[in-house]
């Protein structure tokens, strides 16, 4: 091999190494572990993989969620949660405001650095490792934790299994109070007439009608 070819190969190798080194130092996307939650919407993240203990990086990130005008999913982070970390090319703290519907002009905006990290809670699903989950499968929706399971099947039927108790209420009353009211009126039931023609007394009928209007109709359409 001629000296010129050796020189070209050496230069090519040097350039390749330099490019790889530059890319390796550029913050684009990473994966990490939540080490602290110093404030709402902020997480301290230790990047998951490093070549040595000296290379371990801990950064502060904005926590972002799946959110739109139609629906938002708010998952409260905990220490030990895993996050995918993105580093946008330009960062401005105002870009998260729902009031900002046009591009933000910021001549000092920078990105692709450790100060511009956006963290989103994300990990591979493992049922035995996760205590709360929502599953979408072939038209079925299941919401489950350690104590309760709610399932909507393909027919629209809803099944709720729980080790706890139910509460159904609005701003006027709740289902337990409504049923308790009926139980009280039935317990005080008074009948009139002979055994052959016995019927509920007008006073009791009036109380049950009142219960329907003042209790039942306040909760149900």
SS3 per residue for 43-79: EEEEECCCCCHHHCCEEEEEECCCECCCCECCCCCCC
Residue 41 has a pLDDT of 95
Q: What percent of the chain has pLDDT over 90?
A: 55
Whether 29 and 45 have beta carbons less than 8 Å apart is answered as no
In the chain, what are the domains?
26-123 (2.40.50), 128-162 (no CATH), 175-219 (no CATH)
Q: Characterize the bridge pairing of strands 118-121 and 58-63.
A: parallel
Each residue of 84-101: pLDDT tens digit?
999 999 999 999 999 999
Which helix (H) or strand (E) element contains residue 38? strand 29-39
CA distance 175 to 151: 22
Residue 105 has a pLDDT of 95
Q: Tell me what the mean pLDDT of segment 142-170 comes to.
A: 93
Angle between helix 202-211 and helix 175-187 axes, rounded to 10 deg: 180
Each residue of 102-123: pLDDT tens digit?
999 999 998 999 999 999 999 9
Q: Tell me what the mean pLDDT of segment 33-40 comes to.
A: 97
Q: Tally the C-alpha atoms within 13 A of residue 102's C-alpha that lie toward its C-beta.
A: 2
Stated pTM of the model: 0.72
Q: Which residues have C-beta within 8 Å of that of residue 177, sequence separation ≥ 6?
A: 215
Whether 175 and 168 have beta carbons less than 8 Å apart is answered as yes
Mean pLDDT, rounded, of the chain? 87
């Amino acid at each position: 091999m001629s000296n010129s070819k050796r020189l070209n190969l050496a230069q090519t190798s040097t350039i390749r190494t330099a490019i790889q080194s530059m890319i390796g130092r550029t913050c684009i996307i990473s994966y990490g572990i939540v080490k602290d939650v110093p404030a709402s919407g902020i997480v301290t993240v230790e990047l998951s993989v490093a070549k040595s203990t000296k290379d371990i990086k801990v950064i502060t990130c904005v926590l972002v969620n799946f959110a739109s005008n139609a629906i938002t999913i708010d998952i409260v982070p905990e220490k030990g949660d895993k996050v995918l970390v993105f580093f946008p090319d330009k960062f401005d703290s105002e870009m998260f405001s729902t009031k900002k519907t046009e591009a933000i002009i910021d001549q000092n905006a920078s990105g692709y650095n450790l100060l511009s990290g956006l963290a989103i809670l994300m990990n591979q699903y493992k049922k035995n490792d996760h205590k709360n989950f929502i599953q979408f499968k072939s038209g079925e929706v299941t919401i489950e934790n350690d104590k309760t399971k709610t399932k909507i099947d393909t027919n629209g039927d809803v099944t709720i299994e729980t080790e706890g108790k139910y509460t159904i209420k609005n701003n006027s009353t709740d289902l337990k109070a409504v049923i308790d009211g009926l139980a009280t009126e039935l317990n005080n039931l008074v009948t009139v007439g002979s055994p052959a023609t016995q019927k509920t007394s007008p006073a009791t009928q009036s109380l049950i009608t009142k219960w329907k209007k003042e209790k039942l109709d306040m909760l149900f359409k």
